[in-house]
Amino acid sequence: MKAISTYFDKIEHLDRSLKGMKKIALAFSGGVDSHFLLASAKRAGLEKLLAITVSSQFFTEEEKDRAKKLADSLGVDYICLDLDILGQARVVQNTPRRCYFCKAKIFSLIRETAIQNGIDTWMHAVNVDDLGDYRPGLEAAKELGFIAPLVEAGFSKKEIRACSKHMGLGTWDLPSQSCLATRIPYDDPITREKLEMVDQGESFLRKLGFNNFRVRCHGTLARIEMDTKLIASLMEKDKRRVISRGLKKIGFKYVSWDLDGYKTGNMNP
């Protein structure tokens, strides 16, 4: 309890903020942050709480299934909206502003759905750590009137995980999520084929027991980012052969390890 006690002020601030609202719609991805915020909003006893997921080609089926299960487990009303994000020209061009155009479309759909359901307050689960990265999508959220209760309360990712564990939320140690588009370098047009190769490649590695990694798609080359402590073991002959063959069957011609390891937002620089 000692570690959690240092977060009590932030939890109390968040609770007071949420209890002051009557009807809320939450942009819900089913990740660590949005699950924590949804559970906190549920605890606040609001008049109306709606979790809304927007599922596109950037969102995996595993993430989609998890979001619904988590909302159902909390007894929260849930809506999943399908979006053909590959039909958005300014998104598939994949300029450094891609995230802005993508989030503008997603958050617009969420806001419209909230209004249709009689809700006039919408929020997302960005935390203070996110503010230090290049995230143009935050501009879109602000322009569309989304509030960020976790930022207002001063929550970092580490604190959210600790509080989630204290609350018994199964996502407390879930690896960080990001949309599949972040695996493709800026200015390299996004295609369904590239997204599927990344999705299948990461699913393949998870089945081998790995987590907290990324498969970056550089044309026909797969660049694997993973904890540097694992690189030596990954270079073992049998394991190396299994991974190389597996990714090549998916469609990659070359497979490489990034010697600098995995870091969130590695494509942004």
pLDDT at 91: 98
pLDDT at 177: 86
Among residues 140, 167, 194, the one where a domain terminates is 167
For residue 6, name the pLDDT band (cuts at 50, 70, 90): low
For residue 212, name the pLDDT band (cuts at 50, 70, 90): confident
Same domain, 84 and 214: no
Task: Report the DSSP pairing between strands 23-27 and 214-218.
Answer: unpaired
Q: Is the model's pLDDT at 14 over the cut of 90?
A: yes
- For CA atoms 235, 241, 247, 253, the dihedral sign is positive
Same domain, 107 and 131: yes
Out of 82-86, 145-149, 225-229, 262-266, pick the least confident. Answer: 262-266
Task: For residue 22, give the nearest of 58, 62, 50, 52 by alpha carbon.
Answer: 50
Question: What is the pLDDT averaged over residues 195-204?
Answer: 97
Task: For residue 194, give the nearest of 222, 213, 214 by alpha carbon.
Answer: 222
Same domain, 78 and 195: no
CA triple 67-262-6, angle to 5 deg: 65
d(CA 65, CA 166): 24
Same domain, 119 and 184: no
Determine, yes or no, domain membership for 268.
no
d(CA 167, CA 171): 10
Question: Which domain range does residue 201 map to?
Answer: 180-257
Same domain, 88 and 57: yes
Determine, yes or no, domain membership for 269.
no
Tally of domains in the chain:
2
Range among 8-22, 40-54, 226-240 with highest mean pLDDT value: 40-54
Contacts of 61 (CB under 8 A, 6+ apart): none
Measure the CA dihedral 45/142/119/33, to 10°: -40
Determine, yes or no, domain membership for 35.
yes
Determine, yes or no, domain membership for 173.
no
Question: What is the pLDDT averaged over residues 199-207?
Answer: 95
Same domain, 141 and 44: yes
CA distance from start to end of the chain: 39
- For CA atoms 89, 90, 96, 102, the dihedral sign is negative
pLDDT at 269: 66
Question: What is the pLDDT averaged over residues 198-213?
Answer: 92
Same domain, 26 and 126: yes
Among residues 167, 192, 212, the one where a domain terminates is 167
- How much is the pTM? 0.93
CATH number at residue 133: 3.40.50.620
Question: What is the pLDDT averaged over residues 186-209?
Answer: 96
